[in-house]
Structure formats: C-alpha cells, structure tokens
Amino acid sequence: MKEFLAGTLGVLLLACTALRPTPAVAPRSVVAAPSAGVTIEPAAIARHVEVLASDAYEGRAPGTPGEEKTVQYLAQQFARFGARPANRGSWFQEVPLVEVLPAPQAVLHVTGKGNKKRDDLVLQADYVLLNPPAEERIRFDDSELLFAGCGIHAPAFGHDDYKGIDLTGKTVLLASEVPSRLREQPGAEPLTRVEARVDEAKRRGAVAVLFLLPPVSFMFGSSDESWAKFAEQFTEGPQFRLTTGPARPMPLQALLSVKALERVLAVGGKKLDDLVAGMEGPGFKPIPLGVRLSTDFEMRIRRFSSRNVVAVVPGSQRSDEYVLFVAHWDHLGRCKADQTGDAICNGAMDNASGVGGLLELARAFGQSKERTARSILFLVTTAEENALLGGKHFAANPVVPLGKIVGGLGLDVIALRGRGADVVLLGRGLSGMDAYVEDAAKKQGRALSPPTAQDYFERGDHFTFIERGVPILVATNVHALNTDAAGLGPGMVEEFLSQRYHRASDNYSSALRFDGAAEDIELAYRIGRALAQSTDWPEWLHGVPYKAARETSRQSP
C-alpha cells in the first residue's frame, strides 16, 4: 500500500501535471507474427498462484524464509521451461536492502514562542514517516518551522517558492499541490515530484520536510477514523530502503494529518487558510510559523540482501537485443490478522497472479518450436511494495544494457476479469508500442480501450524502466470499461481494492478465475513475439519526456 499511497500522493500531484503529449501517428512497422501454436492454460497460471500464495510462502516478504522459497521456486520453473540464468550464470541479482523500523514512541515536540505553548505529534496517530532514513538515531533540536508553499524551485519555469532563503537546521512545511502555472509546462513535471522537493529542501540545509497530506477523503472519508485507516495502511508491512541511496542523510520526511497540522499551527497562533491563501502568488515568500520542532528517537535497522530473479530465452539471430517482461514476487508477509484470524497477506492477486502469468510466458517462449530472433528477458523483482526498490536497483544496475532492451510489458494483478474484456494500455499514445498492442488485440478480436486508469501509469516496476527511457508498458484487461464474457466489469477492481488489496483476504481459492488472465498472457506473448521477430525499436513520440533518456541509453549500450 505504501507505494499505492505514495503513488496516491504522487497521483494527486500527477493529477495536477497530467502529461499531454502532442498526438502523432505511430509508425506501423509491425511484423504480423502468427501465434506459433502456443496456448496459455488458465489452470497452469492457477497452479503457480496456488503455490506462491500458500501459507508455506508466508506472504513472500523480502528477507524472510518466504523469500527463499519463492526465489528457488522461480529458478526451478524457469529451468523447467527451458530458460537460462541471466546474470552471468546466476538466476539471481543481489539487491542490498536495509529494513528500518522507527521506535513506536517517535514524537515530534512542538514549542511556541517563549516556550509558552507546546504540543507533541505522535507517530501514526498524527503523522507517518515517508522514506524513513536508514539511521540508528533521528535527532534535531529547536528547528524553526517555515511554510514554503509547494517547495518548488523552478526559476526556468517562472516559479520559485524559496526566493533564495537558507534553510540550514530548519524544517519546512509543504503543500502537496502543484502550482497551476507549472501544470501546463510538461518540462517542469520532474521538479514537482515529492523526491525533487525533498532534494531541494535538503540542498538548502533543512533537517526535516513535513507534507500536508492532501485530503484522502475519496479513499477513506475525512474523519480521524479516515486518518487512522490511512496511517495503518501506509505503515503496514516492513519498510525497506536500498542501501545504494544518496550518501548524505536525507531530511526527515513526514506526512501530517490535517488535524495534527492545525494543532501545530495553533501553537504558533496561525490558521491553515492563512497559509494557503497566498501560496500561488508570484510574490510568495516562505512564512515563519512561530514554532520550533525537536525530536530524538531510535530506528531499528536490519541490513540484508534480497534478490531479483532474472532469466532469459536467448534469441536465434540478434540475441544481444531483448524484449523484457517484469513482475514483482514480493508481498507484505505476515500482516494484521483479519476477523477470521488470518494473519498472512498471501498476495494471491498481488502479485502471485502476475508472476504466474510471467512463468507461463517463459514456458511459451522456452518451449516454442520457433525461437525468436531477439532474446526474451524475464525479471521478477523484490521489494516492489516498497517504492519499487527491486525494479529501481535493476534499472540502475541492469544485467544487460538498457539501450539493448527494445521494449516490453509489466504484469501486476492480472486475474480479476474474464475473457473478452477490452485491452487497457497504460502509457497509451506515448510510443510506437501502441501499434504492437493494437495489432495483438485485434488478432484476439479485442478492442483497445479508450485511455483509462492512466493514474496507474507511474505505479509499478515498469515505470522504473520508463523513467530511464525504456518503453515497458502495461497491457491489461483489469481496468477495461466493457463487460467481459463472464459478465464482469470495472467494478471488479473496486471490489478487489476495497475488500482484498493488501489484506489477509487476498488468498488463493479454486473459485478464482484465470481465463481472462490467460487471454492477457496470450496477448503479451503475441506482442513479445512480434517485437522479438522485428528489427524495429519502438520510439517515444515527440514531446514525451522519456525520449531524451532513451536516446542517451541507446547511444551508450
């Protein structure tokens, strides 16, 4: 859920900066590939899900016995289907992680002028930690709190919330929104991201960054109870960080509930409305809030190495060019017991289903009579539930050059619909990948859905590649708006999100259906085969921000 809610924060930001590339006609250099007589069996996917989502795998949390079982199962299945280890003879890529657990009584002390007024913010009840730092002890004293609008420094786009202010030893409070005048400037988008704002505050010497959580009413309602539900889900499961992150410690990052923020402002005699009123104006300057923050708490740290699993079906002619399929194997492990007493988040849908589909793709390519010209690469990542860490580590340390990866697909939660649902392409209209998806869908007698659910575009391991210019998209029936042959519609997603997503109830059962999943995997097979038989390199369209990264990686394979 963290990645989902972080993504939500991101989405709320994104909603402000929706990408609107200039539409251009996609190149139609698609090579029509017969299906090569491959059938994807729903029961075969179901068998993988039944194994991976069984209690014996303990909810597949990184760094647990559940991980060991999972990665060994994956290696065995890949070998069984004729794939080969893809990391210099190994099925595994080590991913150095550190588990961080803040002390439960982590308190932020708030003091007003002359120490007259005071208040304490308690972890979980009043705030949650974003990207908890991998440090044994978090401590700062008497840090002056300033409101710095959106905390964006973008002079090239006519926007600067800081006006040259120095933040050494200070704490900034930031609004989550994106100023309207930046929304229309696509080039500004990267500067509006949470990470970029935190980096900017760090660059100016801040010791902490507090975000005002956008009202999450659309997900949880707007009461205290809503914050409690949000905070619980935001901190469920272990919290990991890559140990390959920036050397210099990051400022403490926290999301505050609306109520907690109102209490902080009250200590300084301020009101929320006073702050946001002038925030968008060109003359905006950071506002001292008349309060100081102090804290001193410990973090429990555990360093360990988790594993991405990598396999390849080598190509027959251009084997140093790759089509990539990626899915995450990790899930939340042991979680809060539900009313039935079930305390294992087995992650049948999320994401044993996607992994099961990916394994059946490996079988299809590995056992196909006609080997493709290019190679097929399979990546099964760890720690996706934690801000896509396994995907980020691979994209930063790829086992094959990113410039040699032609394109591909991500698979996450694939078994919610029946056959005959339209195909939703996340990232539609951005690249030459569209033609491959359209063509494969047509061969299945399916339509390409009008763009929907695009706020999922940035959420998932596929995006760790897109950020580096590699067109790895998601083609799925899950968000399709039409009613499928099984009479199921988009309501299936809401049902899953509200009843089973990241809960102990996401279990395997023989009642689950995999026919729609098998149809999507056959679609993925058709797309992958067409790409792997062609000499084409699907390009990002003009104006799409990932084009530059692609040109760089293509020049230096």
Task: Provide the minimum distance between the beta carbon of 384 and Zn ion in the complex, in angstroms, as a whole number.
Answer: 6
Cα–Cα distances (Å) from 229 to 114, 221, 223, in that order, read: 36, 10, 10
With CB under 5 A as the contact rule, the residue among 192, 253, 351, 375 that binds Zn ion is 351
Task: Provide the minimum distance between the beta carbon of 351 and Zn ion in the complex, in angstroms, as a whole number.
Answer: 4
Task: Provide the minimum distance between the beta carbon of 358 and Zn ion in the complex, in angstroms, as a whole number.
Answer: 13
Task: Provide the minimum distance between the beta carbon of 328 and Zn ion in the complex, in angstroms, as a whole number.
Answer: 6
**With contact defined as beta carbons under 8 Å apart, do 509 and 404 qualify?**
no
Q: From CA 83, how far away is CA 96, in angstroms rounded?
A: 25
Task: Provide the minimum distance between the beta carbon of 283 and Zn ion in the complex, in angstroms, as a whole number.
Answer: 44
Q: Quick one: which segment of 98-106, 150-158, 344-352, 504-512 binds Zn ion (CB under 5 A)? A: 344-352
Nearer to Zn ion, 2 or 307 (CB): 2
Nearer to Zn ion, 61 or 207 (CB): 61
Nearer to Zn ion, 351 or 431 (CB): 351
**With contact defined as beta carbons under 8 Å apart, do 528 and 323 qualify?**
yes
Q: % helix / strand / coil in the chain, to the nearest 5?
A: 35, 25, 45
- Residue 522 interacts with Zn ion (CB under 5 A): yes or no: no
Q: Quick one: which segment of 260-268, 343-351, 440-448, 465-473 binds Zn ion (CB under 5 A)? A: 343-351
Nearer to Zn ion, 204 or 459 (CB): 459
Would you give the distance in Å from CA 517 to the centre of its chain? 21
Sign of torsion over alpha carbons 22, 23, 28, 30: positive
Nearer to Zn ion, 386 or 553 (CB): 386
**With contact defined as beta carbons under 8 Å apart, do 391 and 464 qualify?**
yes
Residues 6+ away with beta carbon under 8 Å from 221: none
Would you give the distance in Å from CA 508 to the centre of its chain? 23
Task: Provide the minimum distance between the beta carbon of 508 and Zn ion in the complex, in angstroms, as a whole number.
Answer: 16
- Range 393-432, binding Zn ion (CB under 5 A): 412
Q: From CA 401, how far away is CA 404, in angstroms rounded?
A: 5
Q: From CA 449, how far away is CA 428, in angstroms rounded?
A: 10
Nearer to Zn ion, 293 or 352 (CB): 352
Name residue 545's amino acid: P
Instruction: Please count the other Cβ atoms lying within 10 Å of the Cβ belonging to residue 187.
Output: 12
Nearer to Zn ion, 237 or 403 (CB): 237
Q: Quick one: which segment of 282-290, 342-350, 415-423, 527-535 binds Zn ion (CB under 5 A)? A: 342-350
- E strand segments, 335-410: 344-345, 374-381, 405-410
Task: Provide the minimum distance between the beta carbon of 349 and Zn ion in the complex, in angstroms, as a whole number.
Answer: 8
Give the pair of three-digit tokens for residue 454.
Answer: 């695009």
Task: Provide the minimum distance between the beta carbon of 352 and Zn ion in the complex, in angstroms, as a whole number.
Answer: 10
- Draw the binding track, 294-333, toward Zn ion (x: CB under 5 A; -: no contact): ----------------------------------------
Nearer to Zn ion, 412 or 520 (CB): 412
Task: Provide the minimum distance between the beta carbon of 457 and Zn ion in the complex, in angstroms, as a whole number.
Answer: 15
Nearer to Zn ion, 350 or 484 (CB): 350
Q: Quick one: which segment of 123-131, 315-323, 348-356, 499-507 binds Zn ion (CB under 5 A)? A: 348-356
Query: What is the full DSSP assignment across 329-341?
Result: ----EE----TT-
Q: Quick one: which segment of 345-353, 469-477, 486-494, 506-514 binds Zn ion (CB under 5 A)? A: 345-353
Nearer to Zn ion, 30 or 326 (CB): 326
Task: Provide the minimum distance between the beta carbon of 413 and Zn ion in the complex, in angstroms, as a whole number.
Answer: 6
With CB under 5 A as the contact rule, the residue among 99, 177, 350, 438 that binds Zn ion is 350
Name residue 239's amino acid: Q
Q: Which of 548, 213, 505 is nearest to 345 (CA)?
A: 505
**With contact defined as beta carbons under 8 Å apart, do 214 and 258 qualify?**
no
Would you give the distance in Å from CA 167 to the centre of its chain? 30
Q: From CA 134, how far away is CA 245, in angstroms rounded?
A: 10
**Tokens 């005699």, located at residue:** 269
Task: Provide the minimum distance between the beta carbon of 411 and Zn ion in the complex, in angstroms, as a whole number.
Answer: 10
Nearer to Zn ion, 331 or 374 (CB): 331
Judged by CB under 5 A, how many residues of this single chain contact Zn ion? 3
Query: In DSSP terms, which residues pair with 107 in a beta bridge?
Result: 122
Task: Provide the minimum distance between the beta carbon of 430 and Zn ion in the complex, in angstroms, as a whole number.
Answer: 22
Q: Quick one: which segment of 20-28, 220-228, 299-307, 346-354 binds Zn ion (CB under 5 A)? A: 346-354
Task: Provide the minimum distance between the beta carbon of 502 and Zn ion in the complex, in angstroms, as a whole number.
Answer: 9
Q: From CA 123, how far away is CA 120, in angstroms rounded?
A: 10
Instruction: Please count the other Cβ atoms lying within 10 Å of the Cβ belonging to residue 79.
Output: 15
Nearer to Zn ion, 350 or 520 (CB): 350
Helices (H) and strands (E) in the chain, counts: 16, 20
Q: Quick one: which segment of 127-135, 263-271, 351-359, 444-452 binds Zn ion (CB under 5 A)? A: 351-359
Q: Are strands 159-160 and 287-313 parallel, antiparallel or unpaired?
A: unpaired
**With contact defined as beta carbons under 8 Å apart, do 404 and 512 qualify?**
no
Nearer to Zn ion, 159 or 331 (CB): 331
**With contact defined as beta carbons under 8 Å apart, do 188 and 180 qualify?**
no
Which positions touch Zn ion (CB under 5 A)? Answer: 350-351, 412
